């Protein structure tokens, strides 16, 4: 059977890294972004390397876009067997001048991380044109532990509370769905640590001192954990698991 993996948020740094890792492993890919055209540069790169790639629009804050995704992909002739729920929005991580999470951003972060992915995933499960076997949600070390003030130089206003709370809920949803969709669909999560690229050198140095591996993650660290959990043979007995890929951050 052809292996076809849907990757939401594929134009982001992490989504693109996962797509580049999976393409040479024989996966057909369905890439999403809020505008399908934004996926085309990555899609063309992967097609040039021999991969079969489809692109489709998905806005997780738009109910119609989320609820119709499974049908739109099936209508285009693709049947999804595996799914990586990775999409996120930096807009929902805003906080006010005193560090308080506004109600709208808090609710939208929860919607993007938990509610919309749940509804989207269940549409694939219930559409007979898809043959879903494996799901990987993308979580965070902050779904497992609270932020360390030392990383933020004592100012936790730089760490939006809604992010960790939503990721913790996502981790629990992963466990819930692993039970509710068993035995047909395995559902797992990768809880990543912080990636290089969105912070300054001082932040990276503080992070390195606090992490057992002595560094932040890079794009080279992104694909392996997902590839393992998607593998129906290697991870055949793994479901309901949160695989923490954080350089050891959460062990102390």
**All structural domains of the chain:** 4-244 (3.40.50.720)
Digit-coded pLDDT (tens) for 25-69: 999 999 999 999 999 999 999 999 999 999 999 999 999 999 999
Rounded Cα gap, residues 75 and 79, in angstroms: 9
* 142: Cβ contacts below 8 Å, ≥ 6 apart: 159, 163, 164, 167, 168
* pLDDT average, residue stretch 104-132: 97
* pLDDT average, residue stretch 12-31: 97
What is the CA 236 to chain-centroid distance, rounded? 21
Res 1: pLDDT: 67
Rounded Cα gap, residues 157 and 207, in angstroms: 17
Res 154: pLDDT: 87
> What's the mean per-residue pLDDT of the chain?
96
Res 98: pLDDT: 84
Backbone conformation region of residue 242, classed left if phi is above 0, alpha if psi is from -120 to 50, else beta: beta
* pLDDT average, residue stretch 78-85: 98
Q: Cite the DSSP H helix spans in 86-200.
A: 103-110, 116-126, 161-180
3-state secondary structure of 235: coil
From residue 157, alpha-carbon distances to 97, 100, 111, 138, 212 in Å are 9, 8, 22, 23, 25
* Cβ count within 10 A of residue 184: 9
Res 60: pLDDT: 97
More confident residue, 198 or 249: 249
Digit-coded pLDDT (tens) for 158-211: 899 999 999 999 999 999 999 999 999 999 999 999 999 989 999 999 999 999
pTM of the model: 0.95
Q: Does residue 95 carry a pLDDT above 70?
A: yes
Q: Does residue 152 carry a pLDDT above 70?
A: yes
Res 72: pLDDT: 98
Which residues share a beta bridge with 189? 137, 242
Res 27: pLDDT: 97
């Amino acid at each position: 059977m052809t292996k076809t993996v849907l990757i939401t948020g594929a134009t982001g740094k992490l989504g693109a890294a996962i797509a580049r890792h999976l393409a040479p492993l024989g996966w057909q890919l369905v890439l999403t972004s809020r505008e399908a055209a934004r996926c085309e540069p990555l899609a063309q790169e992967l097609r040039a390397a021999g991969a079969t790639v489809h692109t489709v629009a998905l806005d997780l804050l738009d109910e119609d876009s989320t609820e119709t995704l499974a049908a739109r992909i099936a209508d285009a002739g693709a049947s999804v067997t595996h799914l990586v729920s990775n999409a996120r929005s930096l807009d929902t991580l805003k906080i006010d001048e005193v560090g308080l999470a506004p109600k709208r951003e808090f609710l939208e972060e929860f919607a993007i991380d938990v509610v919309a992915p749940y509804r989207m995933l269940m549409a694939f499960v219930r559409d007979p044109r898809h043959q879903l076997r494996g799901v990987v949600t993308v979580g965070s070390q902050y779904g497992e532990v609270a932020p360390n003030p030392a990383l933020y130089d004592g100012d936790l206003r730089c760490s939006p509370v809604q992010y960790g709370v939503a990721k913790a809920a996502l981790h629990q949803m992963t466990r819930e769905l692993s039970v509710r969709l068993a035995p047909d669909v395995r559902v797992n999560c990768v809880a990543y640590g912080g990636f290089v690229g969105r912070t300054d050198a001082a932040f990276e140095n503080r992070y390195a001192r606090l992490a057992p591996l002595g560094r932040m993650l890079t794009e080279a660290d992104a694909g392996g954990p997902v590839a393992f959990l998607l593998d129906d043979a290697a991870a055949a007995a793994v479901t309901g698991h949160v695989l923490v890929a954080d350089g050891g951050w959460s062990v102390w």
